[in-house]
Structure 1
Amino acid sequence: MNILMFVSQLNTGGTEKYIHSVSRYLISKGFRIGVVTMGGPLLNSFKKAGITVHLLSPKKESLVERISLLSLIISKGRYGLLHAHDSMSFRYAAILHRQYKIPLIATVHGTYHKQSALLATSKVAKHLIAVSPNLSNWLVRHMKISSNKILMIPNGIDTLTFNSISNKKKWRKALTLPLSAQILVYAGRFSSDKLPIAKKVILASEIVAKNNLNFVAVLFGPGSSVTRSKLVELAAKANRRLGRRAIYIRPPLSDIQHAYYAADVIVGTGRVALEAMACARPVIATGVAGYCGVVEPKNINEIIRVHFGDHGAIVSITVKKLSEDVNSILSRPRRARLLGEFGAKTVKDRFSIQKVGSQLIQAYMK
C-alpha cells in the first residue's frame, strides 16, 4: 500500500517526529510512504529514512491550484490512503477524499487544531486517531464526534534511537555542557502556549541552583525570535542574580536524544516525556494543561491518560512545586535510577514503535 502523509511543516516538534517514527516502521513492513509538506528542519531526516517528500511552495496559492497539485502527486505516486496530521492537512485531505474517494485517516495530536477543519474531516474520515485517552474523550464530549469513529493509538517510540545505554559524559562534551554537573533538560516549543512553562522552568531552576552550585539547567526548543528573546532575557537575569551561568537557552536539536543522554532529570510533556523515559531518565511531566509531577509507578496511568500534562493535568504548575520535585530527584540518586529504569520498561511495554505501528496498520486495513 502507498500512503500519503500530510503535514504543514517538518519542524522539530512531536507531530513531525511521530510521523517520522511511524513512517520508518511502515517502510520496514513493506509500505511506501510519501509526505506532503512545505519543508523544515527535519527534511533531510525524512529523506534519509526513505520517505518520499513532496515539497509544496510556501507561497500563497489559490485552493484550486493547491488541490490540483496535490491531485497530481496522488496520481503519480499511486497513493491509496491519505493520512492527515494538522489543521491545514485536514482541509486538503478532506477535499481530495471527496474528489477521488481515497480512504482518509486523520491523527488528532491535541486540542489546538482548528475545529472547523477537524469537524469537516471527521465527517469523511474512515477513522480519527487520538494519541491519548483524554483526547479521545474530548473529541466525543466537546466536538460531538461519534466514539465509533475514534481510535486511541498513542505515540510510538523507536527504542533503538531512544535507548538507555548511551554515555552521559560523551554527550555532555559534544553539547559543551559541564561534565560533572547535575543537569536538568527541558525540551519543548518556545511558542506562546508553552512559553509560561519554560518561564517556570527557568525560575524553578534558579531556586535549585541557589543551594546547589553543581546544578545546571538547559532549555532546548524551537520558537520565534520574540519568544526566544523573552526566555534568554529571563535566564540572563536569573544568572546575574546567581552570580554564575546556571541556565542555558539552546536552539532545538534534530537529534534531541543527545540532550536526554546528557541529562540527570528531564522536564517535558507528551512525546518528549516518552522519549526521555525510553532513555531511562527520570521525568517531571508538565504541559499546557498543567502539572503532573514526577512520573512514577503510582501515577503513571493517570499521567498517560492526560498525555503528560498536555491533554489534562493533576494540578496547576507552580515554580515552588517544580523546584521541590527537581530537588527530590537530584538528592536521591538511587530513586532517580529506579525511576529511569521504570520509565524505560514502561515505554518498551506500552509505547514501542512496533506495538504502536502494528495498531496503525490494523487501522489502515479496517
Structure 2
Amino acid sequence: MHLLIPVFFNAPQGGLHENVRATVLFMLVRRHRVTVVCRPGPFAEQMREHGAGVIATDYAEGSFAAAMAKIRALHERAPIDLVHAHPFMARRLGMIAARVLGLPCVVTMHGKYLDSLPRTIAQLDAVFTVSEGIRHYLLTEGEVGQPEKLQVVPNTPDARLFKAVKVAPPEEAEGRVVVSLVTRLDLDKAFILDIFYQAVAHAAERYPGRIHWQVVGQGKLWEAFAERVEALRGENSVSYTGWLQGEVLRDAYCRSAAVIAPGRCTLEAMSCGVPAIALGSKGYNGLVDGENWQQAVFTNFGGVGEKQAGYKEGSVERDLDRLMRSRAERRRLGRFGRQVVRQCFNAREMHQRLLGFYRLAVAAYKTAPRPQVAEAEFLELRLRGLNQRQLSPDRLAVRLECEHAEELQFAWYLLRDGEVIEKLGYGPEPHREIPLPGPGRYRVRCYIKDGEGRKIAFLSPEVAGPDESTSDSVTSGA
C-alpha cells in the first residue's frame, strides 16, 4: 500500500508530529510505502531519514497548485492507494488530491474543532478521533452527520521506548522533588501555562526549596513564560531542556517524580510509570488516579473541555499537595498509570486497527468509487499567489494572482485586532488598495467566487497600522 499523509503544523515539533511519526514508522516496518506532505524543516528531514517520501510545501495560499502537481507526478510513478489527511490546510489539500486522483480519503481529528467536517464528511471514507470525547463533541455540539464514519483511534505511546529506566536527576535538582512540565510554549497552550503558573506559585509558598521544576518544551512564548516562572518560583529551582524526542525525552520523564502534561505526553509519562497531572489545551483532568482515569481517557487527557470555565479553582494545588505527601504515594500512582496505558493504549493493537481501516477503505472504494473531479473545479488550484504590500503606514495593497481571473469575483473584509471593521463586496478586480484607519493589527480576509457559486476564503498576513502620531498627522493633514 502507498499511503499519502498531508499534515499541516505551525510549531516545528509537538504531539501532532508524534502521531504522524508513529503511523509512518508502523507502515514502513510492514513494508508499506508512505509519502508525507509537510513544511520543509526538521520534521521533513526526520521523515526522510526514517525512509518516507516527502513532498515539501508551506501550505501558503497559492501553493496548492504546485503541491498538487507534485502529488500527481508521484501518483503516476508510484500509484497512491489512500490519502490520510490531518486537519486544516492539510485536510483541504488531501481532500482535493483524493477527489482529483479518484482515491479514498480518511482524516484524523485531534481536538475540539470542526474543520468543515459537517460539510465535507460525505466525501470522506472514515474519520478517526483520538478520543471518545472528541467523537462525542463532533456528534453532539458539532452536529456532524453520518456517525457511522467516526472511529476512535487514540494516540498510543511506544511502550518499547517509553518504559521505566534508571537515570540520574538533573544536576540542578539538588535532591529536590523533580516535577516536569512537558508541552509546547505557544499561544494555543495558554490554558496549560496559566494553570502551571498557579502550581509554581503554590509550591513557592507551600514547599519552598523542595521542588525542582523541569520544563520540557519550547515555543514562541518561551521568554515571557521563563520570566513569569522566575518571578513565581521563590526558593524552588527550574531548568529548561527545550523540546526533546526519543530516549532523551524518556529519560526526562524517568528523572521526574511527576509530570504535568497534555495528551500524548501524559501517556508517555504514564507508560514510564511516572504519575501525571493531565492538563490539556482545552481542559484539566488532574492527577490520573482510580477516580478520574476514565474521564482522562475519554477527553484525551485534556483535549476536550471548557478551559477556565470548566476548571475548579484550587485543583492543581490539591493535586500537587497529594504528590508531595510521600514517595510511596507517587509510586502507587505511577504503577496505576502504567496499567491504564497497557489496558487502553496498546500501540501494536491500535496501529493494526488503523491498518485494518486503511484496507477496508481501499476495498470499499473499489466497489463504489466516487467520480473523479477536474482540477479546474477547485478554486484553490487556480490561485497562484497572494501579493501584499503596505504602500504607507495607513494604506495596504493586496493582489491575487489567479488562473483565468476574469471568470472570478473577489471580495475583501478588513479585520483590525481580529474584528471585521469593513466589508468590500464582490467585484471583478483581483486587487484592492485598502485604507488602514488608525493603530492596530490588520489582516484582510480574501474571498474568491466562481460562476458556479463555489468560493474559498483565507486570511492575508498581518500588518501594523499607523501609530498614534502617524494617525494624528494624517488626520490633521487632511
Q: Same fold (TM over 0.5)?
A: yes
| 1:200-239 alignment, distance < 5 Å | 200-212=195-207, 213-224=209-220, 227-239=221-233
Deviations 1:49-85 (A, max 9, x none): 3222222257653432332222223333322111001
* Aligned twin of 2:451: none
Cα 1:316–1:177 change in 2 (3 A) is farther
Match in the other structure for 1:8: 8
Q: Structure 1's 138 and 340: CA in aligned 2 closer, same or farther, altered over 3 A?
A: same
Partner secondary structure for residue 307 of structure 1: coil
**2:213–2:236: 8 Å Cα contact kept in structure 1?**
no
Q: Which residue of 2 aligns with 1:257?
A: 250
> Over residues 297-320 of structure 1, what are the superposed CA-to-partner deviations in whole Å (9 max), with x where a residue is unaligned?
222112111111111379844673
Q: Amino acid of the residue matched to residue 302 of structure 1?
A: Q
Query: How far apart, CA to CA, are the structure 1 residues paired with 2:63 and 2:53?
Result: 25
Q: Secondary structure at the match of 2:72?
A: helix
User: Does the CA contact (< 8 Å) of 2:55 and 2:67 recur in 1?
Assistant: no
In the TM superposition, what are the counterparts of 1:123-162 in structure 2 within 5 Å? 123-141=122-140, 142-162=142-162
Closer, same or farther in 2 for the Cα pair 1:103/1:326, shift >3 Å? same
Root mean square deviation of aligned Cα: 2.3
Asked whether the equivalents of residues 7 and 86 of structure 2 are also in contact (C-alpha less than 8 Å), the reply is: yes
Q: Name the counterpart of 1:280.
A: 273
Cα distance in 2, alignment partners of residues 25 and 66 from structure 1? 25
The change in CA–CA distance for 1:137 and 1:150 in structure 2 (over 3 A counts) is same
Give the Cα separation in 1 of the matches to 2:200 and 2:65: 51
Partners of 1:309 and 1:338 in 2: how far apart?
A: 22
Bigger relative CO (Cα 8 Å, ≥ 6 apart): 1
**Partners of 2:44 and 2:56 within 8 A in 1:** no
Q: CA deviation at 1:15?
A: 1.2
Partner of 2:80: 79
After superposition, the Cα gap between the structure-2 partners of 1:192 and 1:101, relative to the gap in structure 1 and judged at 3 Å, is: same
Rounded to whole Å, the distance in 2 between the matches of 1:266 and 1:149 is: 35
How many equivalent pairs are there? Answer: 354
Instruction: Name the counterpart of 1:268.
Output: 261
Distance (Å, rounded) in 2 between the aligned partners of 1:48 and 1:330: 42
SS in 1 for 2:222: helix
**1:364 aligned to 2:358?**
yes
Deviations 1:172-222 (A, max 9, x none): 35xx54252211111112222312321321331232233431211122223
Could you give the per-residue CA deviations for residues 71-103 of structure 1, whole angstroms, max 9, x where no partner exists? Answer: 223333322111001211110111111111111
Q: Which has the higher helix share?
A: 1
Amino acid at match of 1:272: C
CA drift of 1:267 comes to: 0.8
Match of 1:294 in 2: 287
Measured against aligned partners, the alpha-carbon deviations of 1:229-253 in whole angstroms (never above 9, x if no partner) come to 22112012124xx2x4523454222
Match of 1:346 among 340, 346, 371: 340
Residues 235 and 318 (structure 1), Cα distance of their counterparts in 2 relative to 1, 3 Å cut: farther
Taking structure 1 as reference, are residues 57 and 89 closer, same or farther at Cα in structure 2, changes over 3 Å only? closer
Mean CA deviation greater in 182-191 or 193-202: 193-202
Aligned partner letter, 1:144: V
TM-score by length of 2: 0.69
Partners of 1:70 and 1:146 in 2: how far apart? Answer: 29
Q: Structure 1 residues 356 and 313, CA, compared in 2 at 3 Å: closer, same or farther? A: farther
- Does the C-alpha gap of structure 1 residues 143 and 74 become closer, same or farther in structure 2, counting only changes over 3 Å? farther
1:119 is displaced (CA, Å) by 4.2
Whether contact under 8 Å (1:85, 1:107) holds in the other structure is: yes
Shifted more, 66-75 versus 348-357: the winner is 66-75
Q: Find the counterpart in structure 1 of residue 329 from structure 2.
A: 335
**1:92 aligns to what?**
93
Partner of residue 389, structure 2: none
Write the distance in 2 (CA, Å) between the matches of 1:259 and 1:129.
Answer: 30
SS at match of 1:338: helix
AA in 2 matched with 1:97: A
How far residue 107 of structure 1 moved from its aligned partner, in angstroms, is 0.6
Would the alpha carbon gap of residues 127 and 21 (structure 1) be closer, same or farther in structure 2, given more than 3 Å must change? Answer: same
Classify the secondary structure of the residue corresponding to 1:97: helix
Q: Does the 8 A contact of 1:204 with 1:319 survive in 2? A: no
How far the C-alpha of 1:264 sits from its partner, in A, is: 0.6
Q: Which has the higher strand share?
A: 2
- For 1:106 and 1:253, how far apart are their aligned partners in 2? 27
Range 38-47 or range 325-334, more displaced = 38-47
Q: Aligned equivalents of 2:149 and 2:344: distance in 1?
A: 23
Cα distance in 2, alignment partners of residues 125 and 345 from structure 1: 35
Looking at structure 1, the residues matched to 279 and 123 of structure 2 have their Cα atoms a distance apart, in angstroms, of 34
CA 1:203–1:21: 2 relative to 1, 3 Å: same
Cα distance in 1 between the residues matched to 2:36 and 2:236: 42
Equivalent residue of 1:216, what SS? strand
Q: What corresponds to 1:168 in structure 2?
A: 167
The code of the aligned residue for 1:279 comes to C
What one-letter code is carried by the residue in structure 2 that aligns with 1:333?
Answer: R
Report matched runs for 1:179-190 at 5 Å.
180-190=175-185
With normalisation by structure 1, the TM-score equals: 0.89
What's 1:323 paired with?
Answer: 317
**Runs of at least 5 residues in structure 2 that lack an aligned partner in the other structure:** 361-478
